[in-house]
Amino acid sequence: MEAQASANEPIPVSSDTAEILIVPFDPPLDTPLKYSFVEVSEQTGREPRRVEYEQELTFQKIEDGYLLQLKNIAIVVGEQRIALNKESILREFPPAMAALFSPNLEPVEIELDAFGEPLRLRNWEATRAAIIAQKDFWISQVSPEVAEIYQESFELVFAPIRNSTPEDAAYVAVKGWPYILGFGGLELEEGAEYELDTEMQVGIASSTIDALSLLRLDRDEHRNLYYSESTQADEAQLLIALKNTFDELPGKFQSLQTEEVQEKIEDAKNTLQMAQMIDELDIVFDERSGLPLSAKSTNSLLINAEISRKVSFSIRSVDTK
């Protein structure tokens, strides 16, 4: 449910005619850069889920831009650290579970333009097959009755991946990074607040609704560039989209096509009185390279003034050079 960039230009709503700040994009070439990537998912009635990836990024110069190679070195869940290489996975886990890790065992390669904006994912067919193979593992682990429900759910979840082009794939298949790249060349007055009309996607059918972003570019205490962005969906459109989602559920899941379940869905729909969806993004850029020293993105969905779902990722440079 990330905000989608529009063709509109940011409009300043507050300004004291300060210095113009420009975000550069000049990454060091052929130099592995280590990052920590943490994803946290929270949902009403469930324990928060935290997963950390140790990652390595390498930039190469190509015609008209850069090639970013993104490699997952290890994954940390709770107290367990799992090295993401084939030998370690086969040593630690049964062969049937290898499909769960296969999308993370090979680097992904993303072509970027001169400003760092993702253009396309290389070798998308192989990456897509590895991701979809995860579905087959989970279905094989449950009873036939539950497998039918899983199949319906996975078909919905994996549909965007199955249908993505290489140009779409960077945003669909790569966690976090595509949304903090591409800021090279951004010019804003220091400390001024800008408004930007944009769009957000919500619901099973990914309905597009209007949203408003507030942008700001400052310097932190170390003189690095600090970018902040807060995007909020139009509340009236969001409420309609969510109620439409309730109406779409039985058609998407055969297991929900019972009178009892449909009554519960209708009750949930009728109790939906207010909804808010908010994206927040904060990035500290290195002043010379334009690469993120740290970043945090949070997407929150509030139902009737209470948080229903909150997903965040944070990125921290371990040894930016």
Q: pLDDT tens digit string along 59-69?
A: 999 998 999 99
Predicted local confidence at residue 101, as pLDDT: 78
For residue 316, being part of any structural domain is answered with no
How many domains, in total, are found in the chain? 2
Residue that finishes a domain, picked among 182, 197, 221: 182
For residue 148, being part of any structural domain is answered with yes
Predicted local confidence at residue 15, as pLDDT: 54
For residue 208, being part of any structural domain is answered with yes
Mean pLDDT along residues 150-156: 70
For residue 209, being part of any structural domain is answered with yes
Do 172 and 218 lie in one domain? The reply is no
d(CA 294, CA 36): 9
Q: pLDDT band for 5, please (50, 70, 90 cuts).
A: very low
pLDDT, greater one: 45 or 47: 47
Predicted structure pTM score: 0.85
Residue 200 burial (10 A CB sphere; 0-12, 13-18, 19+)? buried
Do 256 and 222 lie in one domain? The reply is yes
| pLDDT higher than 70, residue 123 | yes
Instruction: For the beta carbon of residue 24, count every other beta carbon within 10 angstroms.
Output: 19
Do 110 and 213 lie in one domain? The reply is no
For residue 41, being part of any structural domain is answered with yes
For residue 295, being part of any structural domain is answered with yes
Helical segments of the chain, H only: 86-92, 98-105, 124-140, 144-163, 166-173, 235-252, 259-271
d(CA 135, CA 100): 9
Predicted local confidence at residue 204, as pLDDT: 57
Residue that finishes a domain, picked among 132, 160, 182: 182
Do 176 and 235 lie in one domain? The reply is no
Decide if 70 contacts 110 (C-beta within 8 A): yes
* Pick from 25-29, 192-196, 230-234, 245-249: least confident: 245-249
Do 48 and 176 lie in one domain? The reply is yes
Predicted local confidence at residue 61, as pLDDT: 97
| pLDDT higher than 90, residue 319 | no
Do 50 and 178 lie in one domain? The reply is yes
Q: How far apart are the first and last CA of the chain?
A: 33
Do 42 and 173 lie in one domain? The reply is yes
Predicted confidence (pLDDT) per residue in 69-83, tens digit: 999 999 998 888 989
pLDDT, greater one: 76 or 207: 76
For residue 319, being part of any structural domain is answered with no
Do 42 and 2 lie in one domain? The reply is no
Mean pLDDT of the chain: 84
300: helix, coil or strand? strand
Do 80 and 12 lie in one domain? The reply is no
Do 151 and 275 lie in one domain? The reply is no
Do 159 and 227 lie in one domain? The reply is no
Domain range for 157 is 26-182
Residue that finishes a domain, picked among 182, 211, 234: 182
Which residue, 299, 288, 297, 292, is CA-closest to 317?
292
For residue 317, being part of any structural domain is answered with no
Do 232 and 302 lie in one domain? The reply is yes
Which residue, 176, 173, 281, is CA-closest to 226?
281
d(CA 205, CA 188): 35
Decide if 259 contacts 245 (C-beta within 8 A): no
Residue with the two structure tokens 């970018």: 227
Stated length of the chain: 321
Q: Which two tokens stand for residue 259?
A: 């009178």
Which residue, 121, 226, 118, is CA-closest to 178?
118
Q: What is the DSSP-derived secondary structure letter of residue 123?
A: T
Instruction: For the beta carbon of residue 79, count every other beta carbon within 10 angstroms.
Output: 5
